[in-house]
Structure 1
């Protein structure tokens, strides 16, 4: 594959990236921390290495599909040549939140704090997804009638298929936990976070709910999620904050209050510490575009 094989659509209103597909035959693009204001899908067709995502490390090899959401920090360090293809798209081109019922990818493929940010592809899955990338590339080479709509249609199918694949892989239980005790704790923890993240921000709160010591729950969280319990809670708050910043016109103060923060400035510092941008900057670069049709 050739690094110069790049096809891009630009938002004519603001000059920013709308959609991009490119092939790569080395790791120069991903060998440093990325924090992009758009979604990124990467299919590794050849090579292996270590992916650093949200400060956690995951080994990867060929036939892996990565899915990263806006401003999620990631870096791919390969042990040799790395080849593949990447798709990047902005919310204004295709709105994950608004198409949630159609594709169900938000919270599964993207914005999933409970699962690793990639899936493994068998040969059939790899060929199927790469075929859709080829169809998208073909459209990008033309100036055909309603080209953007055709690309969105292919992208939807790509996301639906990738989401199915991830759901199938999530059903595999860990062989190291034959009794299911830890898996039950993990499920209770997920439920507790989903029900209480707006009001309870402390790891000790959740340990108390699950009748475990904070250290015991922390070990289980680290083992299953590859992150601390505090990071897990913070990530869930940030995902909800991003959703509100994108979909609504609520003030930052209102969003902060709904997420359990009486001090909007404290909330803004917390948000920036996790995303590297302020809530207002996130809204300006990713958020609600009043002129866009999602």
Structure 2
């Protein structure tokens, strides 16, 4: 049995998924690579296993909340039954980019290339989030007035609470650093990528900026992020490209140029290689701007 209960809202204009919440009691839904054109939250209530996300593998157990952004590749492998709930929602139903000032979710819970894509839940926070899921399910069972608005309100609360937990756990992850020098380099690297990812795309550029050898920077990056420096740079470029494709009507050529690519076709191949979809298809399936390239 794939799921015990499934509740779905569909966009009446185009027939696409707007919002979905379901309970699962095995991994058949997540045991192959997912590249969904919507946000995905997975709350594990029972079981453990390995999550393969982007270029990394993470061991997880019960009371774990995963958060994946559109077209982020992931799959979950377990040897025993896995139980929990999943929430999926499209940009058109709730745009975290547009509500970032209200909930501060994007860049913390989602789209955070520097942190693991999940949080650990304490008993109290687990109960609170499950209660919100219960309220959403009850709301979906009836055809009440302004139902979508009520569900969005519950979703906002869910995301705010999850983001708070993530923020509380981030300093703990930083404390695992081997020494103060490494912490300084890691923070400096984050700042350098944020300031320069549009114009500097090579690992050697950042080693030079930080005045460390490429080998040293590669080792520190692997220790702290379990990724290569090139992975971090590329993921930051892709995040920005997605934002531009979703939030603006700029042409693909304009976006490519602003991200440091003079050849829009090379940029399109790079984008598709990282997301499995072309920039135009991403805009057409996720973005509200349907403008051509």
TM range (shorter): over 0.9
**CA deviation after TM superposition for structure 1 residue 79, in Å:** 2.2
Partner of 1:165: 165
Corresponding residue of 1:139: 139
Give the equivalent residue in structure 2 for 1:101: 101
Deviations 1:189-235, CA, capped at 9 Å, x for gaps:
00000000000000000000111111110111111111110010000
Q: CA deviation at 1:181?
A: 1.6
Aligned to 1:71: 71
CA distance in 2, matches of 1:175, 1:197: 26
Q: Distance in 1 between matches of 2:175 and 2:15?
A: 50
Deviation at 1:175, TM superposition (A): 5.3
* SS of equivalent residue, structure 2 residue 185: helix
> How far is the alpha carbon of 1:176 from its aligned partner?
4.8
RMSD, matched Cα: 1.3
Structure 1: how far apart are the matches of 2:135 and 2:170? 29
Is the 1:132–1:154 contact (alpha carbons within 8 Å) kept by the matching residues of 2?
yes
- How big is each residue's C-alpha offset from its partner over 1:225-267, in whole Å with a ceiling of 9 and x where there is no partner? 1111001000000000000000000000000000000000000
Contact 2:2–2:29, Cα closer than 8 Å, also in 1: no
Q: Is the 8 A contact 2:241 2:255 kept in 1?
A: yes
The runs of 5 or more residues in structure 2 that have no matched partner are: none
1:204 alignment counterpart? 204
Task: Quote the Cα distance in structure 2 between the aligned partners of 1:190 and 1:245.
Answer: 24
For 2:52, what is the secondary structure of its paired residue? strand
- CA distance in 2 between partners of 1:109 and 1:152 (Å): 17
Are the equivalent residues in 2 in contact too, given 1:245–1:288 (CA < 8 A)? no
Instruction: Give the total of aligned pairs.
Output: 290
The runs of 4+ residues in structure 1 deviating greater than 4 Å are 173-176
Superposition pairs of residues 1-294 of structure 1, within 5 angstroms:
3-174=3-174, 176-177=176-177, 179-289=179-289
Contact 1:41 1:65 in 2 (8 A): yes
> The residue matched to 1:165 in structure 2 has which SS?
helix
Verify the 8 A CA contact 2:4 2:25 in the aligned structure 1: no
Q: Secondary structure at the match of 1:111?
A: coil
Whether the 8 Å contact between 1:46 and 1:82 is mirrored in structure 2 is yes
TM-score w.r.t. the length of structure 1 is 0.96
CA distance in 1 between partners of 2:206 and 2:271 (Å): 21
Instruction: Give the whole-Å Cα distance in 2 for the aligned partners of 1:43 and 1:247.
Output: 29
* Contact 1:245 1:283 survives alignment (8 Å): yes
State which drifts further: 221-230 or 249-258: 221-230
> Offset at 1:118?
0.2
Give distance in 1, aligned partners of 2:178 and 2:133: 39
